[in-house]
Structure formats: C-alpha cells, structure tokens
C-alpha cells in the first residue's frame, strides 16, 4: 500500500509502449499471462480485479505483488468494483472473510483508498475505468478531486468509474445502470479531451463482445480482459504506431 499511497490520484506516465488491460474480475490467468509475456514497456490495469470470477483473491494479490516488484512498470487504477459496497454485493467480501477470517476485509477497503483513479499516458491518452464524468471539464479537474475512501464519495469521481459511452448521444443522458451513473456522447467526449489536451480515451467497464470496441471515430476505445463473460479477453497496445489491440491468448 505504501507504493500506491505515494502515487497521485491521476498518474502521468511516459513510456515508449504500454499494454492496457481492462476488467479482469478474478481472471488470474489473464493477469498472469500479461505479466509473464510483457517483456518491455509499461502495463496499466484499468480496475475491477475482484468480484464475479473464481480467483478474485489470487488475481488481486498477484497484481499487488507485481506492483511491489516493478512499481515503475506496473500501474493499477481503481475500478467501480474496488469499493466495499460492490464487494458486499458481488462476492469479494465473502471470499476474503471465508478464506482469511473475519476482519481481514478491512485491509482491502484501506487498500482501495490508495489506488489512483485515472492516468494520462504520454500526454495524449487518458485512461479511466468508466468514462467522461458530468461535472468535470478536464482530467485536471478530476485529479483535483483526489482519491476516495473505501467507497466513492464524490459523484464526479463515481461517474469517472461508472459512466459508459453512447454514440446516440451528444452530451449526457440516463444510464441503464441506474443510480448516479450516466451515459456520455460525442460532444461531451470531445470537450473533455480538448480541455485535457489529449487525443483519446481508453477505458474498460463494459464486456464488449469482441473484447474491444472503438467508437467516436477512434477517439474512444473500450477493452475488456475477463474470460468469464464468454468473451475472448483482449488488451490494448499503445506505442509509436498508435493504438492497436491483441488477444491475451496471442501474447
């Protein structure tokens, strides 16, 4: 936790190449393969390490070990499932309590409060778990709101981890996820990127059928890396040649 605590709420990463990993949700096999096969460049994991999948504890512990070993190559961002509320409902709280004993979960709740909420890669690509939040004009605005506690108290930070894109919208609209979550459209994305002086947003959060999806004329990409949704897990590759995708089993 000490390494994560020293990192800011929004990371600023410079790298010749980067592998960006979407939701893993207990898919220990995906995380292990990425860590084993990525011999150069940085790796950025976009959150949702626990809940739903069968190896939730193993997955999170393995990623924390990698962060401890290579802190300047492995970066972990917070997803909407890195909260007490989601873990109580979707299973991670029960997994920890059953395997590590009553009271052990509090260590993970404390951990969540140290995890950055976003990143900017090479001053051109914004990395978030969810998407553009209503009420934040730029990534700097989001950065100023800081990290959160064991749950997401700030509604703008909440949306950054929960919002989804919709090509049928220009601005913002209601989300089928309910609650405070919103959908965002092209104009909202363009404005957020322009104010941030960035070219694209790469995010996770949605189990898109092909493992990845590009929207809004390549200004936005979604990547999903968990095999337990009957999806072939994919990762995004960002380098000198721009943005591309590959499947985890092809690494």
Tokens found for residue 94:
């029960």
CB atoms inside a 10 Å sphere around CB 179? 9
Q: Interior CA angle at 25 toward 97 and 47, to 5°?
A: 105
DSSP state of 208: -
Closest CA to 82 of 133, 47, 132, 127: 47
The model's pTM? 0.97
Q: Is the pLDDT of residue 1 over 80?
A: no
Domain boundaries, the chain: 12-250
pLDDT of residue 102: 85
Tell me the average pLDDT across 168-192. 97
Q: How far is CA 93 from the centre of its chain?
A: 20
DSSP state of 233: -
Candidates 35, 34, 59; CA nearest to 47 is 59
Rg over alpha carbons for the chain, rounded to the nearest Å, is 17
Residue 8 has pLDDT above 80, yes or no: yes
Side-chain-side CA neighbours of 22 within 13 Å: the count stands at: 33
Between CA 228 and CA 248 the distance in angstroms is: 13
pLDDT for the residue 88? 96
Q: CB-based contacts of 220: which residues, under 8 Å, 6+ apart? A: 131, 165, 189, 200, 201, 202, 203, 214
Domain 12-250 bears CATH identifier 3.40.1390.10: no
């Amino acid at each position: 936790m000490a390494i994560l605590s020293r990192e800011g709420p929004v990371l600023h990463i410079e790298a010749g190449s980067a592998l960006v990993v979407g939701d893993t949700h207990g898919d220990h096999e995906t995380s292990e393969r990425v860590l084993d096969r990525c011999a150069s460049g940085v790796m950025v994991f976009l959150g949702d390490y626990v809940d739903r999948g069968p190896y939730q504890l193993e997955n999170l512990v393995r990623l924390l070990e990698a962060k401890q070993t290579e802190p300047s190559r492995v970066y972990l961002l917070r997803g909407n499932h890195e909260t007490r509320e989601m873990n109580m409902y979707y299973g991670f709280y029960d997994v920890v309590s059953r395997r590590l004993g009553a009271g052990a979960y509090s260590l993970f709740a404390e951990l969540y409060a140290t995890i950055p909420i976003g990143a900017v890669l090479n001053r051109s690509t914004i990395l978030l778990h969810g998407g553009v939040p209503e009420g934040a004009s730029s990534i700097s605005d989001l950065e100023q709101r800081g990290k959160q506690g064991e749950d997401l108290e700030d509604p703008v930070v909440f949306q950054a981890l929960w919002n989804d894109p919709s090509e049928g919208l220009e601005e913002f609209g209601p989300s089928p996820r309910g609650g405070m979550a919103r959908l965002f459209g092209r104009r909202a994305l363009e404005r957020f990127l322009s104010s941030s002086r960035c070219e694209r947003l790469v995010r996770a959060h949605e189990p898109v059928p092909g493992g990845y999806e590009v929207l809004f004329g390549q200004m936005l990409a979604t990547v999903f890396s968990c095999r337990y949704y009957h999806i072939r897990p994919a990762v995004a590759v960002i380098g000198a040649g721009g943005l591309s995708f590959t499947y985890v089993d092809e690494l």
